[in-house]
Structure 1
Amino acid sequence: MWGNAAAATPLPTIVEIDPGEALDGYLERVADANYLSTAHLVTLIRNASDTLRYITLAPSPATIAAIAALTGQRPDQIHQATLSAYDHTALDLTGFDPTIRSGHRAVAARGWFPGRGTQICPPCLAHDGRWRLIWRLPTTTVCRVHGVYVLSTCPGCHRPFRDHRHSPLRVVGAETRCGNPLGQGPRKQCTVDLTALPTTPADPACITRQERHDKAAAGAITSTALGDLAPADYLATTRSLAVLLLHISTAAPDSSRLPAWAQALRPDAPRRTIRWGLRPPHDPQLRSHALTAADCVLTASDLDAAVECLMPWLDSLPDLPESRLGWLADHTRMTPTLTRLVLASHAPRRRLSHLLDQVPPLTASTRQLPQVLPEPLVETHLIGLFDSRPRTVGLFASLCLARTHPNIDSWAKAAHALGLAPDLGDRTARACSASLTGSPREVVAALRAATRGLDVDYRDLEHRVRRLARTHRWFTRWARTNRPGTRASSHPYAVHWVWTRVAHGHASAAPAAVGSTRAQNFERSLTAAQTAALTAAAALSGQG
């Protein structure tokens, strides 16, 4: 598997490779331990292998075998010290061939390809002088050991660390100086001490995101709002969503609702030339914030919470000549998981719920909200925005009004606040969102207009009707005065009528359970005078 390295003679001093150490940094330590120049060691490897091209990315089997023979390490240890160790997790090297000069192009076209150089954590280098392999991943932005952002550019030469084209190893060997060539002759290198460079403490959310990233890169399953994701799916979706958030940040006409890092990004990013999908932000802190924002969406408690996290970004998009979904698909690589999330965020129910959660309360209290918005208000303000029946629209309208109040952030909580079964809120929201014909903003405007007719304490009115359900004297008096010959068995139907037509309660919560057909027949038999008398009975029930 690892090729033939019979021509390689083992070096006299064996140096053990550390887990997580990058191959080039390890080879520099090998050269120093054997009193060799790095150029001499490179020559020994080249003479025993076929090519040194892409030695830090995915060296050929012959190259791995040659290095293993020279250093006394196992071939699998050498392989684990190259970026190919992250294939099928943080990287996708499908189709890559190290023996072809342009073999990296197909992989690089997938975006966020580790280029020349590496990032560093100065405290780590100061501790043991080891160059970590994981620093090379663009999705690595934080050192979890020291809780700081990694650095990407040397302040002395203003180039990436280990940015040398003509040899995979630095002339300075295992020293912790920068060692980048300065272009002033073969012996001129940058002398900045990397261990003394200042660092910036990382945000706790960025550290948490990095921990999930590192576990996934090592092959762990990640729990998300859309279920457990395989390492490659989680890491690819996080990166794709981060790319999308970066594009939204640069395209948003009004970024005031976006995080500070996104607002700071917009003035410096030309809208038409930026290609975040191919090349990530060079600044590790900016890259970290984008990846962390994407991770917060994916790892929300459930799909609804994930959509709520994503909605401020989607609402910041400008008016687009093409479809919103088309724009999103054009600006990132849509993984199956990201596609599910984006489609969920465009469901009318979710878009309306997010908008309602941003609206100040439209009534002083939820006590001023009936369980079902009165039909005259529905017919005046909401007819034409839904294809559902007026009573269903009235129930949904009351749930929507409840959603505008603090701490009511779900349809189940809205139903509970109105005295209804929580699952009724979810069912009604699904039904009405499927029949929504107007825009969410039109619905909010109609609800705002409808609240001008709500000035009754409906919880008190419901209490009065429940009192009517427990007594019969009022019904006997009403029947004798307004409807002679009415049977005492009609008492539940009268209570039901007062509940639904005066208190505007929902039939499922009525204090008197009756069949819908008989309740409708009783209602049809009432005259205007009789309904007025029933309404008065409900008003009088609060006295005494």
Structure 2
Amino acid sequence: MAEHPRHERPLGRALDPLPDESLGGYLLRLAHRLRISPIRLARLTGIKGPTETALGRRLLLDLDVDRFARATRLTEDETAGLTFLPWQGRYPSIARALSTPDRRGTREDWLFNDFPRYCPQCLAGDSGPLRQHDGIWKTTWHLPITFACPIHEVFLQHGCPQGHELQRTLPHLIAQAADGPLHPGQCRLPALSDDPDTAPGRGRTGRSCGARLERRDPAGPLRPGTSMLKTQRDLLDLLSPGRPAEESSSRFTDLRVITSLLCTTWPNSRDMLDPRAREAVDEHVQALGAGGKQALDRPPRDAIATAGLLTAASALLDAPDLDEVLARHTRDAWDGRPSRTPWTQVFDRHRLSCSERMRQAAAPSTRSYRRTSTRGTRVPDRTDGYRPENVPALMERDWFDKHLALLEPCPYAKSMRRLGAVLLVQWAAGGAMGDAADYLGINPKGGQYSTTTGFHRWMHDHGSTDFTRALRNLACDLDAITAPINYRRGREALHNWALTRDTWLEITSCLPPVPGHVQPNLDDRKRQEASAFVWAQVTRGEPLFAPRTIEAEQPEELRRAWLNQRSSTWGKLARPGRIHHFTALRGLLLQHAEHLIRKIDSGQADSCSSCG
């Protein structure tokens, strides 16, 4: 048999890991059994060098699983179970920390608690205070989302009964790891200098406090309520292999983002929290400087504050009117542009990891419906269902009537239909509103895709929440269509299109005669406006954005004259009333539009230009 190097030889004695046990807890139990210090054990197992004196929390991410498993006679699965590795697909902060070059792993605020948390009763074990090494330090206690023990129904504690002053983050897996084989339930913080029985600790190799943590009052001043315990169980369940990893990951990110919202809108969000947690949350927010309106994206140090925030965030996230709640909190706490709210910075940073529901609900709160173009890059809000090509340049009238016409009476229906189409494309394709307008063939430089002054004022006065909710409902209807129309195909087929003179003559020859001496004008100007009318019917757009190839060939003076008559001709074609000539011409143009649609749908788009 090949001989192992000394630091890789299996230990003469080992322990089976306990359910949910952390690497630090396992090292403490095994070191106590072998009567050596934890750092000495780490060197024997090959996970630390001969001169190292500290065990950092990064071992939960970077442990050499194979080497440690061989040294402790564990399987690789048992060894990985002592670390964060099984959760890397479920807890986004772990995945980011594993991919970052920062080996300290401290830049991700939601990766570790500032101070170790623990349940005294779990440390005591089932057969006495760790006398048989059956107490447990759990891996989940390192995560900021763990604030209570669902088994013993108590808040997790941190620190020590001796009252150490904890002013900074403790980055160690085991503090004072070079100290001797203390009991796993003893405090390993540096000994207090005013303790008459213990010499003061000096650096990482000084003497530990040694106070018995498992004898601490497990109840503390407060116990978690029913909703807090349910939230804790739900969060821990997200880490279990029985839940889809993607679902768990997005849920954790959603909760993180909403927790930031609760903090940045404090104290407006105070009423959403359990009264018992409000004081602790207030201290947390003040410590992070909420008065400066900065983005607050750090978890609380205190378990009670964590419980209050995550329980409130979970309830808010499950609300059926999530978009309204987010919009209301943002409006109440911020009087500037929605896209510049402090918590929007947090949302944008984690947007890709959020659930689709969260991205959709946050849209009204993180954007403002502006009249000017923005060219910033956005990812799509919707990744399934309808596609950008299934949206016409002007929202279909029956879509509008079903979803938007029932809002507060608005005299700007066309602006609402136009903006709705742009937003539907933006939700499906990402990018800026100007990008969506370009896709639809709308001129962004003229602001045509945006709101008129009157509609902009109406949106400001009535708020965008109802408008966005109605548009979301419409989007869901579009998702359910099994064979949606490809509107972009029509726009591409009729790019730079117009009725040819021969086609125009063929159409107008079918018009009934008009009695009297005054005959309708059938010149190139009317051919141009008839072309725009047909184009709008085929593409479901607006004549305003139709190609004007006939007009482009005319002198500047004549183009200006045509412009003055444009809207009058469109109006008569759209609503001819008793004008028999326009009634007949409209009918013939609609027939020609149907003819073009059939050609395009049958794949004969290339022949459309030749048929006019």
Unaligned runs of 5+ in 1: 223-227, 349-382, 390-432, 444-544
CA distance in 2, matches of 1:83, 1:40: 23
Q: CA deviation at 1:71?
A: 1.3
CA distance in 1, matches of 2:176, 2:456: 62
Tell me whether 1:151 sits opposite 2:167 in the alignment.
no
Q: CA deviation at 1:59?
A: 2.5
Find the counterpart in structure 2 of residue 72 from structure 1.
73
Alignment counterpart, residue 259 of structure 2, candidates 242, 245, 254: 242
Q: What is the TM-score normalised by the length of structure 1?
A: 0.54
Q: CA deviation at 1:315?
A: 4.5
CA gap of 1:313–1:116, structure 2 versus 1, over 3 A, is closer
Report the AA paired with residue 229 of structure 2.
I
Unaligned runs of 5+ in 2: 126-133, 192-199, 369-406, 414-454, 466-612
Q: CA deviation at 1:196?
A: 2.5
CA gap of 1:271–1:154, structure 2 versus 1, over 3 A, is same
CA distance in 1, matches of 2:160, 2:310: 23
What is the correspondence of 1:372-383 to structure 2 with a 5 Å cutoff? Answer: none
Q: Secondary structure at the match of 2:308?
A: helix
Report the AA paired with residue 114 of structure 1.
F
CA distance in 1, matches of 2:331, 2:272: 10
Q: Secondary structure at the match of 2:265?
A: helix
Map Cα deviations across residues 258-314 of structure 1 (whole Å, 9 max, x no partner): 5444576166652366876553211111111111111112223x3x3x345546533
Q: CA deviation at 1:131?
A: 0.3
Contact 2:68–2:79 (Cα < 8 Å) also in 1:
yes
Contact 2:338–2:367 (Cα < 8 Å) also in 1:
no
CA distance in 1, matches of 2:171, 2:92: 21
Q: What is the TM-score normalised by the length of structure 2?
A: 0.49
Alignment counterpart, residue 342 of structure 1, candidates 362, 369, 386: 362
CA distance in 2, matches of 1:99, 1:434: 44
Find the counterpart in structure 1 of residue 298 from structure 2.
279
Contact 1:281–1:287 (Cα < 8 Å) also in 2:
yes
Q: Secondary structure at the match of 2:333?
A: coil
Q: CA deviation at 1:8?
A: 1.6
CA gap of 1:35–1:274, structure 2 versus 1, over 3 A, is farther
Map Cα deviations across residues 105-163 of structure 1 (whole Å, 9 max, x no partner): 5xx43431215652101111122421011000001111111111112232422347895
What is the correspondence of 1:11-410 to structure 2 with a 5 Å cutoff? Answer: 11-46=11-46, 54=57, 56-61=59-64, 64-94=65-95, 96=97, 102-105=102-105, 108-114=106-112, 117-127=115-125, 128-156=134-162, 157-159=164-166, 168=177, 171-182=180-191, 183-185=200-202, 186=205, 188-198=207-217, 199=219, 200-221=222-243, 230-249=247-266, 252=268, 257=271, 259=273, 260=275, 261=277, 265=282, 270-271=289-290, 277-300=296-319, 302=320, 304=321, 306-307=322-323, 309-310=325-326, 313-320=329-336, 322-323=337-338, 326-332=341-347, 333-335=349-351, 336-337=354-355, 338-343=358-363, 386-387=410-411
CA distance in 1, matches of 2:408, 2:226: 48
CA distance in 1, matches of 2:294, 2:86: 27
CA gap of 1:56–1:384, structure 2 versus 1, over 3 A, is closer
CA distance in 1, matches of 2:216, 2:150: 17
Q: CA deviation at 1:49?
A: 7.1
- The number of residue pairs the alignment matches comes to 348
Find the counterpart in structure 2 of residue 397 from structure 1.
none
CA gap of 1:344–1:237, structure 2 versus 1, over 3 A, is same
CA gap of 1:316–1:150, structure 2 versus 1, over 3 A, is farther
Contact 2:295–2:342 (Cα < 8 Å) also in 1:
no
Q: State the identity %.
A: 18
CA gap of 1:277–1:290, structure 2 versus 1, over 3 A, is same
Map Cα deviations across residues 45-93 of structure 1 (whole Å, 9 max, x no partner): 34887997655322343xx233212211112211110122321212434
CA distance in 1, matches of 2:58, 2:6: 19
CA gap of 1:342–1:256, structure 2 versus 1, over 3 A, is same
Find the counterpart in structure 1 of residue 574 from structure 2.
none
Report the AA paired with residue 44 of structure 2.
L
Q: Secondary structure at the match of 2:158?
A: coil
Contact 2:22–2:83 (Cα < 8 Å) also in 1:
yes
CA gap of 1:48–1:317, structure 2 versus 1, over 3 A, is closer
CA distance in 2, matches of 1:294, 1:59: 31
CA gap of 1:294–1:7, structure 2 versus 1, over 3 A, is same
CA distance in 2, matches of 1:221, 1:232: 10
CA distance in 2, matches of 1:17, 1:241: 36
CA distance in 2, matches of 1:442, 1:188: 62
Map Cα deviations across residues 398-427 of structure 1 (whole Å, 9 max, x no partner): xxxxxxxxxxxxxxxxxxxxxxxxxxxxxx
CA gap of 1:437–1:174, structure 2 versus 1, over 3 A, is same
Contact 2:144–2:299 (Cα < 8 Å) also in 1:
yes
338-347 vs 238-247, which moves further: 338-347
CA gap of 1:148–1:162, structure 2 versus 1, over 3 A, is farther
CA distance in 2, matches of 1:84, 1:194: 28
